[in-house]
Structure 1
Amino acid sequence: MADSGSGFMVLLLLGLVVVVPYVPVGCSRFVVEKNSLRVTSPDSVKGTYDSAIGNFGIPQYGGSMAGVAMYPEANRNGCEEFDKHNISFRSTPGSLPTFVLVDRGDCFFALKAWNAQKAGASAVLVQDSTDETLITMDLPEDEGNPDYLANITIPSALIEKGFGERLKKALGNHNQEMVSVNLDWREAVPHPDDRVEYELWTNSNDECGVKCDMLMEFVKDFKGPAQILEKGGYTQFTPHYITWYCPQAFTLSKQCKSQCINHGRYCAPDPEQDFSSGYDGKDVVIENLRQLCVFRVANETKKPWIWWDYVTDFQIRCPMKEKKYNEDCAKEVLKSLGLDLKKIEKCMGDPNANSDNPILKEEQDAQIGKGSRGDVTILPTLVVNNRQYRGKLEKGAVVKAICAGFQETTEPAVCLSSDVETNECLENNGGCWQDKSANVTACKDTFRGRVCECPLVDGVQFKGDGYTTCEAAGPGRCKINNGGCWQGSRDGHSYSACLDTKCECPVGFKGDGVKSCEDVNECKEKKACQCPECSCKNTWGSYDCTCSGDLLYMRDHDTCISKTGSETRSAWVAFWVIVVGLAMAAAGGFLIYKYRLRSYMDSEIRAIMAQYMPLDNQSEVPNHVSDQHA
C-alpha cells in the first residue's frame, strides 16, 4: 500500500523501503490515480463514483468494462482461496463478467486480487475499512515477494467505505435486480493532441527481487514498440532515476560513503543490503547517471531511442550476478552502439566532487510533483501525459496506456492492431454511413471506440453527417463512385451525369442526374434531321440521320450534300459560274446607269445654255422673265 500525507518522503526503491527526512522545494504530494466506477442498476445505488486504480493487474486504459457485482458469502476479505469455500465467480457463456467485492484488511491487496482471479472473477473491488480519502493499493514490499505478483491480470480498484456499504445493501436484497457496474478508464489518461509524452522512472539495479525482474523483462519486451513510436515521431520519451540524499550529519558515515556520491548528495540503497560485500549503492547511482547521459548524448544526435538499446544490452551483458556490473563492461556496450565515450564521461562529471551534479540535481527536482502528476515515490513508475500509470508493467498494458494518450483518430497503427484493441467498424460498419459499391465508409476505428466522420479518399473530401449521408464534393469527385451520379453504358457507348459541382444528365438524356437519366428521342421531338431529304433514326444518347439517294448528311448544318467527288466539283463550278454571272450583270447594269445619267445631265445643260445662246440648229427661245409691278 502507498499512503499519502506522510511527514517523510518514502522512496520505494524497487523493493527496498528507504525513509529519509526530505524537505521538498514545493508542496510535495502523492497523487492517487483514479478511474470512474458507474453503477447502472438498481436505482438505490445508481450513479458515478471514484475508485483508486490498484498498482497491480492490468487496468484497461482507454477502455471500459461492464460486469455484475458479487459479494461472497464466505471469505469476504478474499485472503483465502475461494475454492476452499466452494465459491466460483466464473461467468457462463453470454453472461456478464463478475466483479468481486471484498473487504480490506488481514492480507495484501495483491493476494485478494490473485484469489479472486483464480476463482474466475474479471475484476476486484476492495472496500476501504475506514472513512478516509482514497489511497493507492500497491504491491507488497517485504523480502518474500511471492511469485503470483507477476501473474495478476485482472484490474482492481479501491472504493470508499460508504459506497461499499451501499453496494452490499443492494447485493443483500435478493428481491432487487442485479447490481450492474461499469469500470471506465477512458479518461484516466489525458489525450489533448496527436503526440504522447511519457516517462519511465527506473533503476539499473538488477538484484532487488521480483520488482527488478519484472522491470528488466518489461524493458526488453517494450523496447520494440517504444522505438517504433519514437522513430515515427508519435511519442516523446524521457527516462528518469530516483535518488535520495544522505542527511548532512551522516555524510561521513560508512553507510553514506558506500551508498552515495558527491559527498552524500545522491544515494541509492545497497543492492545486497550488505555494506561489507558485493556492490554498493554508489555503483548503482553511477550507472544510473551513465544511463541518463546515454540518453542525453543520443538525443543530441536525434536518436533518443538508442537509450533502449543500451539499457537492454547492459542488462544482458553486465549483470550483477556475473560480477560484470562495472564501468569496463558499460564501455564495451557503448562502443558497440557507436556512442561517444568522451561526451558521456563529460556529461557524468566527477562523482567525488563536493558539489552538485547538474544531471542528478535535475532528477531530484523532477521527482517533485508538478501539475496533475504528483510526487514520484514508487519504483518503477510510468508517467503518461503527466499522469502516473497504475498497474502491471507489461508490454500490452503499457501500449494501451500510451495509446489512450492520443487524441481520437490520431493514433498510430500500433494502437489499432488486433492485440491492442477491438475494431468496432467490423460489426455493422459501426452504425456509420458506407458505400459498399465504392468500398468507402465514414467509420473510423480509434483506440477508445469509433467515430463516424465522412472520409477523404484520393484527395476527394466527402461531406455529410457521417451517419446517414456522405457525398463527394469538389474537383475530382467523379473519380469516386462517379460522384454518386448516374452513369450507364450500352452498345459500346458510356455516359456520365457527374460534373465537378453537381449531377446533370448529359446531352441526349433527361432526368435528375442522380438516380436516372433517360434517352431523349430526338427524332420525335423534332430537334434534329429536319431537311427534306433527311431520314431520322433514334439511338441511345444520340440519333442517326441519313439522306435519300447518294447524298451525305452534314449534322452541323442539318443538310444533305452529294457523296461523290466529281459531283461535288460540278456543284462548285456551277456555284462559281452563277457568282461570276451575277457579278457581270451587276457591272453591266452599273454601266447602263452611268450612261443614262450622263445623257440626262447633258440634255439639261444644253437646255439651259440654249436660253442665252441659241444654237445653230435651234430656233430662238423666248425669254421667260417674270412680271415686275411697282
Structure 2
Amino acid sequence: MREKLRFFIWALFLCGSCLGRFVVEKNSLRVTSPQSLKGVYECAIGNFGVPQYGGTMVGTVVYPKVNQKACNDFDEVDLSFKSKPGGLPTFLLADRGDCFFTLKAWNAQKAGAAAILVADDKIEPLITMDTPEEENSSADYLQNITIPSALISKSFGDGIKKALSNGDMININLDWRESLPHPDERVEYEFWTNSNDECGPKCDSQIEFVRNFKGAAQILEQKGYTQFTPHYITWYCPEAFTLSKQCKSQCINHGRYCAPDPEQDFSKGYDGKDVVVQNLRQACLFRVANESGKPWLWWDYVTDFSIRCPMKEKKYTKECADQVIRSLGIDLKKIDKCIGDTEADIENPVLKAEQDAQIGKGSRGDVTILPTLVINNRQYRGKLDKGAVLKAICAGFQETTEPAVCLSEDIETNECLENNGGCWQDKAANITACKDTFRGRVCECPVVRGVKFVGDGYTHCEASGALRCEINNGGCWKKTQDGKTFSACIEDHSKGCKCPPGFKGDGVNSCEDVDECKEKLACQCPECKCKNTWGSYECSCSGNLLYMQEHDTCISKEGTSTVSWNFVWVMVLALAGVGVIGYGVYKYRIRRYMDSEIRAIMAQYMPLDSQGEVPNHIHHGNI
C-alpha cells in the first residue's frame, strides 16, 4: 500500500505534463522538386538535436530499402548517407515506430545524414518528438545528437515515398528563420530549471549547460542585449494528502509548493522540500540581484553552488548556500526576508508567481518539462547546448541589431564574403551595402562617417546630405592637374554631379576641359590672342596693347597713360579755380557786411553828410 501511495504521489507531481496545454513548435519545409510535391509543408521540431534556428538547410531526400524505421545501425558500406563533394546534403526519411525518436536520429547521424525526417504512422496532428523517459534517458548517445529532426505528417510521408518510387529526385528546404519571433533589438528569454543535482543525466546536462553558457549569458545581459529571467517549476499536493508523510517531506507551506524526491526514494538522502527551498532561494537571489542592477550574478551563484554544495557530498544546505551568497557580495538579509517562513500555512508570493508563470500565455504553452528555455515567448526545442541555445537566442534579434557574438564564424556564415552578397559596393572607397545578419544578408545603403547613402542597395547607392562630398567625392568626378583641383560634386544637400565651369561631361565618369579659344567663347576682339588652359583660358593683346577683361577689348598702354595724366592735371586746375572763386566771393560778401554794420553804428552818434540838421523844439508854457 505504501508503494502504491508513493507511486500515486509521484504521478501527481508529474501530471502537469499530461494535463498542461502543450504547444508543438514548428518550422517550415519547402519542396522545390518534383512538381507533383512542390509546395510548403509544416513539420514539428524535435526536442533533441540542434535545430538551425534563424537559418535554412537544403538537401535531397533518401528513403532506405531496409531498416526503414532506422532502429538499427545502417551498413556504412552499402548505405552511407554522406553527401558527395559538390552534392546536396542527405535528408533521411524514416518511419515512426518500434524505437525512440532519438535512436532513429542517432543512427541516421552515424550514417552521414544531415537531417532526419520521421513520417508519422497515423493521421493525427503533429506532435513533438521527445527524449526517452527517465529510466531510459541514460543512453550515452542522447547528448551527442547534433543533426536537426522533424516529424512530418503521414500523408506527406506517403507522397515522398511515392515520388521516390517513381524515380523522382526530391529537393527540400528546411527553414527555421521564422521559428522564433524576432521583433526588436533585445531578446527576452526564460530558463526553467531546478536546483536538484541528483536526477540523473538530465540534471548533469543542465548543470553543464549553466556552467558553459554563463560567460555568454552574462556578457549579453551586461550589455543590454538580453533580458534573462530564471524560473522554477513546483507542484501542489492534493488536499487529501497534505498531512501524509510523503507530502510533508516533498512540500513546504502545507503542501502548496512541492518537488519530487531527488533520489525518488523517500527513505534516504534529501527530500523534495529541500529542493523547493533551494529553488526559492535561487529565485529570491535573482530578485535581489536584479534590484541592485546585477541580475547576471544569478549565473555565478548557481554555478558556484553546484560546485561547492552538491547533494552527493551532503553540502546541499543553507549554511553552504549562505557562504556562496556572501562571497558574491549579495545582501543575505534581503534574500532571507524574500524566502520567508517555509513552515507557515500561507502562500509564498515568489513561488505563487512562479506557479502562475507556468501557465502558457499566447503562443507559449504550459511549462511542464525541465529544463525548458522560452525565447521571445516561444519554447525552444532541441539540445541543451551552449552553441545551439546561443544560435536560438541570436535568431530572436531583429535583422542588423544582433550583437557581434551572433555574427562570429562559430555561429553563422557571413554571406557578404562571397560576391559581396550580390549588393552594391564601391571598391575604391571600400563601401558596401551588404550587411551580414544572423538570418542572412540584407542589401541596405550604409551610413559612413555621418553621410547617408540612398538607393536600392542592390544596383546603386549615392551619398546625400551636406557632407556628401567628403565620402569618395559624392561618387562624382574629381581630378587634379597642373596644380589645380576641380570637382563635379555639389556641396549642398542635393544629389547628383555637375561638371564645374570650364568643363563638360556627365560629372560622374568624366568632365572634359572646354577649349574656350577653339569654340570662340572668349577673347573675341580683333587684337585679342587666346590661350586655352585646363579648366579656364588666358587672353592677351598683340603689340603694345593692354587687355580689358570686363570689356573683352584691347587698348593702348601709352594712350592710357597720357589720358590718365591729362585727366589728373585737369582735375587739379579745376580744383584750384574753384578755390580762387570761392575765396573772392567770400571776401566780397564779408566786406559788404562789415561796411553796412559800421555805418549803422556810426549813424547813432553823429550825423552823416547825407543827413540834414534836426531842429531842437522847446515848448514854453504861459507865464
TM-score, normalization by structure 2: 0.85
**1:445 lines up with 2:436 in the alignment:** yes
Tell me, in whole angstroms, the C-alpha distance in 1 between the residues paired with 2:577 and 2:258: 126
Structure 2 letter corresponding to 1:539: T
Tell me, in whole angstroms, the C-alpha distance in 2 between the residues paired with 1:111 and 1:169: 25
Q: 1:539 aligns with which of 529, 533, 536?
A: 533
Aligned residue pair count:
569
Q: 2:141 aligns with which of 143, 148, 151?
A: 148
1:347 CA displacement: 1.0
**1:377 lines up with 2:368 in the alignment:** yes
Task: From the superposition, tell whether residues 503 and 84 of structure 1 become closer, same or farther in structure 2 (CA, over 3 Å).
Answer: closer
1:552 CA displacement: 8.8
Residue equivalent to 2:610: none
Task: From the superposition, tell whether residues 519 and 46 of structure 1 become closer, same or farther in structure 2 (CA, over 3 Å).
Answer: closer
The DSSP-based 3-state class of the residue aligned with 1:516 is coil
Task: From the superposition, tell whether residues 570 and 17 of structure 1 become closer, same or farther in structure 2 (CA, over 3 Å).
Answer: farther
Q: 1:514 aligns with which of 504, 508, 525?
A: 508
Q: 2:152 aligns with which of 144, 147, 159?
A: 159
**1:577 lines up with 2:569 in the alignment:** yes
1:401 CA displacement: 0.8
* CA contact 1:91–1:97 (8 Å) conserved in 2: yes
**1:47 lines up with 2:26 in the alignment:** no
**1:334 lines up with 2:328 in the alignment:** no
Tell me, in whole angstroms, the C-alpha distance in 1 between the residues paired with 2:215 and 2:352: 30
Superposition map of 1:470-481 within 5 A: 470-481=461-472
1:39 CA displacement: 1.8
1:162 CA displacement: 1.9
The DSSP-based 3-state class of the residue aligned with 2:75 is helix
Tell me, in whole angstroms, the C-alpha distance in 2 between the residues paired with 1:539 and 1:186: 62
Superposition map of 1:393-432 within 5 A: 393-432=384-423
1:543 CA displacement: 3.3
Superposition map of 1:51-90 within 5 A: 51-83=43-75, 86-90=78-82
* CA contact 1:74–1:85 (8 Å) conserved in 2: no
Q: 1:101 aligns with which of 93, 99, 111?
A: 93
* CA contact 1:21–1:247 (8 Å) conserved in 2: no
Tell me, in whole angstroms, the C-alpha distance in 2 between the residues paired with 1:448 and 1:380: 26
Q: 2:334 aligns with which of 320, 326, 343?
A: 343
Tell me, in whole angstroms, the C-alpha distance in 2 between the residues paired with 1:150 and 1:443: 37
The DSSP-based 3-state class of the residue aligned with 2:126 is coil
Task: From the superposition, tell whether residues 23 and 42 of structure 1 become closer, same or farther in structure 2 (CA, over 3 Å).
Answer: closer
Post-superposition CA distance 1:23-57 (Å, at most 9, x none): 99xx9411111111222222232222111111000
Residue equivalent to 1:602: none
Task: From the superposition, tell whether residues 237 and 578 of structure 1 become closer, same or farther in structure 2 (CA, over 3 Å).
Answer: same
Tell me, in whole angstroms, the C-alpha distance in 1 between the residues paired with 2:370 and 2:536: 81
Superposition map of 1:291-306 within 5 A: 291-306=282-297
Residue equivalent to 1:188: 179
1:575 CA displacement: 4.9
1:548 CA displacement: 7.5
Tell me, in whole angstroms, the C-alpha distance in 2 between the residues paired with 1:576 and 1:133: 112
The DSSP-based 3-state class of the residue aligned with 1:143 is helix
Q: 2:116 aligns with which of 118, 124, 131?
A: 124
Residue equivalent to 2:262: 271
Tell me, in whole angstroms, the C-alpha distance in 2 between the residues paired with 1:168 and 1:29: 33
Post-superposition CA distance 1:126-173 (Å, at most 9, x none): 122222211111111233411111100001111122221222222222
Residue equivalent to 2:498: 504
Tell me, in whole angstroms, the C-alpha distance in 2 between the residues paired with 1:47 and 1:511: 52
Task: From the superposition, tell whether residues 508 and 204 of structure 1 become closer, same or farther in structure 2 (CA, over 3 Å).
Answer: same
* CA contact 1:75–1:82 (8 Å) conserved in 2: yes
Tell me, in whole angstroms, the C-alpha distance in 2 between the residues paired with 1:271 and 1:200: 20
TM-score, normalization by structure 1: 0.84
Structure 1 residues not aligned, in runs of 5+: 1-15, 592-630
Residue equivalent to 1:34: 26
Tell me, in whole angstroms, the C-alpha distance in 2 between the residues paired with 1:119 and 1:590: 125
Residue equivalent to 1:254: 245
Task: From the superposition, tell whether residues 532 and 87 of structure 1 become closer, same or farther in structure 2 (CA, over 3 Å).
Answer: closer
Structure 2 residues not aligned, in runs of 5+: 1-9, 584-623
Post-superposition CA distance 1:585-608 (Å, at most 9, x none): 7889999xxxxxxxxxxxxxxxxx
Post-superposition CA distance 1:408-460 (Å, at most 9, x none): 22222111111111111111111111111111111111111111111111111
* CA contact 2:25–2:44 (8 Å) conserved in 1: yes
